Homo-oligomer: A and B are copies of this chain.
Amino acid sequence: MPTLVEVARHAGVTPATVSNVLRNRGRVGDATRERVLAAIATLGYTPHLSARALAEGRAPTIALMVSSIANPFYPEFALAVENALRRSGQFLIICNTDGDPQTGRAYLDQIAGTLSAGVLVMNANLDFADLRATERRGAPVVLCMWERPHAEPGLPCVAVDFRLAGELAAAHLLSLGHRRIGVIVGSKPSGIHAARYEGFLDAMRAAALDGTAAPVRYARDTTQGGHDAALELLQTHPDLTALFTTNDLPALGAMQAAADLGLDVPRQLSVVGITDIRLARESRPALTTVAVPTVEAAELAVALLRELIEAPDGAAGVGRESRMCVASAPRLVIRASTGPVASGALR
């Protein structure tokens, strides 16, 4: 592969000049520029990105930490991230942590600041201490989907109002006349989906109902998890007419459980999810859900990270941990998995 020096020789200039035309650093005469460009073209020269990274003190890559890229939501997000990065000439390294903080730390230690200029964190079960350490080593970190716009995580983040998402989903069910609603939370009790559950409780309260009386199950954030939880819920509470689920994947699982039980969705049971992953649209019946601004969040996250990376070390200090972008509000998407509560007791 040709190097910049060869291009320079070919064009009869010095490396510095080639570098200048490459980076549009003004200081080059038109004739010279032409010659350099010609040399670049005939030699088929491409900058050596690793060399450039070293010289600039900044790699052109950023790392996306996820627990597993195979979780159906993450690829949609990763795609949006990659698109945003590509537009700004950066590259995406995918780091699967398998939900294991150790693996996450190993990744951070190895690449943050040396191979990637910054880190995007998408629900990867990382230690906050490790993330802080990463920042201290000079690689900014941003949390991609912080669920509580009204509580600072202590790390730069883009926030999405998932409490509101929960509220909208629940309100939708209530407006259809449902009162006996089962809840499936796709995380541990005080885990990542807690805000969504709070939204449910808020909606119930607003309707003068006691949300805490609604039966709830905590499940893994997977189809299977939702399936099993729904099965249990429906069997122990045969009077339920609707299921509020804190994420689409378990909601889809819940619909399968209903199918397994011979229950018609939405005639006998309504199911609502949160996020609006592609599968939600493609399931039968199509899933009613609360759409979250995935692409917008990805773009905000990339923009914020860029800012932090480019900020002079000093400037980053103050208020760095208080950098929070709030993405636009979630909105209800009514599809086929929810309907009015049956007049007669169907079940």
- How many Å from the CB of A280 to the closest CB on chain B? 12
Distance of A187 from chain B, by nearest CB (Å): 20
Does A176 belong to the interface (CB within 8 Å)? no
**A137 x B49 contact (CB < 8 A):** no
- CB–CB B93/A91 < 8 A: yes
Q: Is the CB of A79 within 8 A of B96?
A: yes
CA–CA, A40 and B69, complex, Å:
33
The CA of A127 and the CA of B182, in the complex, are separated in Å by 53
**Contact call A93/B96, Cβ cutoff below 8 A:** no
| A50 interface neighbour in B50, B83, B93, Cβ under 8 Å | B50
Count of identical protomers in the assembly: 2
Q: A68-B79, A137-B1, A282-B252 are in contact. Are A46 and B92 (CB under 8 A)?
A: no
**A86 CB, nearest partner CB in chain B, Å:** 8
Among A13-21, A70-78, A203-211, A316-324, the stretch in contact with B:
A70-78
Contact B282 A61, beta carbon cutoff 8 Å: no
Residues of B within 8 A of A71 (CB): 75
Is A48 close to B, CB under 8 A?
yes
A57 (CB) vs chain B CBs: closest residue:
B50
| Contacting residues of chain A (131-155) with chain B, CB-CB under 8 angstroms | 137-138
Q: Does A333 contact B (CB under 8 A)?
A: no
Chain A window 40-74, contacts with chain B (Cβ cutoff 8 Å), 1 for yes, 0 for no: 00000011111101100001110000001111101
A115 at the interface (CB under 8 A from B): yes
**B70 and A79 form a contact (CB under 8 A):** yes
Which residues of B are found within 8 Å of A69, using beta-carbon distances? Answer: 69, 75, 78-79, 82
Contact of A96 among B83, B138, B224 (CB under 8 A): B83
- Asked if A246 is an interface residue, CB under 8 A from chain B, the answer is no
Contact assessment for A115 and B1 in the assembled complex, using a CB-CB cutoff below 8 Å: no
Q: Are B49 and A114 in contact (CB under 8 A)?
A: yes
Q: Answer whether residue A110 sits at the interface, using C-beta atoms and an 8 A cutoff.
A: yes
**A101 CB, min distance to chain B CBs, angstroms:** 15
Contact status of A46 and B282, CB under 8 A, knowing A1-B138, A74-B75, A91-B115? no
Which of chain B's residues has its CB closest to A80's CB?
A: B70
- With A1-B138, A82-B95 given, can you name 13 additional A-B contacts, CB distance below 8 Å? A1-B137, A46-B110, A46-B137, A49-B114, A50-B59, A50-B115, A51-B54, A53-B115, A69-B82, A70-B76, A82-B94, A83-B96, A223-B282
List 28 contacting pairs A-B, 8 Å CB cutoff, sorted by A. Answer: A1-B113, A46-B109, A46-B114, A46-B137, A49-B111, A49-B114, A49-B115, A50-B53, A50-B59, A50-B115, A51-B114, A54-B54, A60-B115, A61-B115, A69-B69, A69-B79, A70-B278, A71-B75, A72-B72, A72-B75, A78-B94, A83-B96, A91-B111, A91-B115, A92-B93, A93-B93, A253-B282, A259-B284
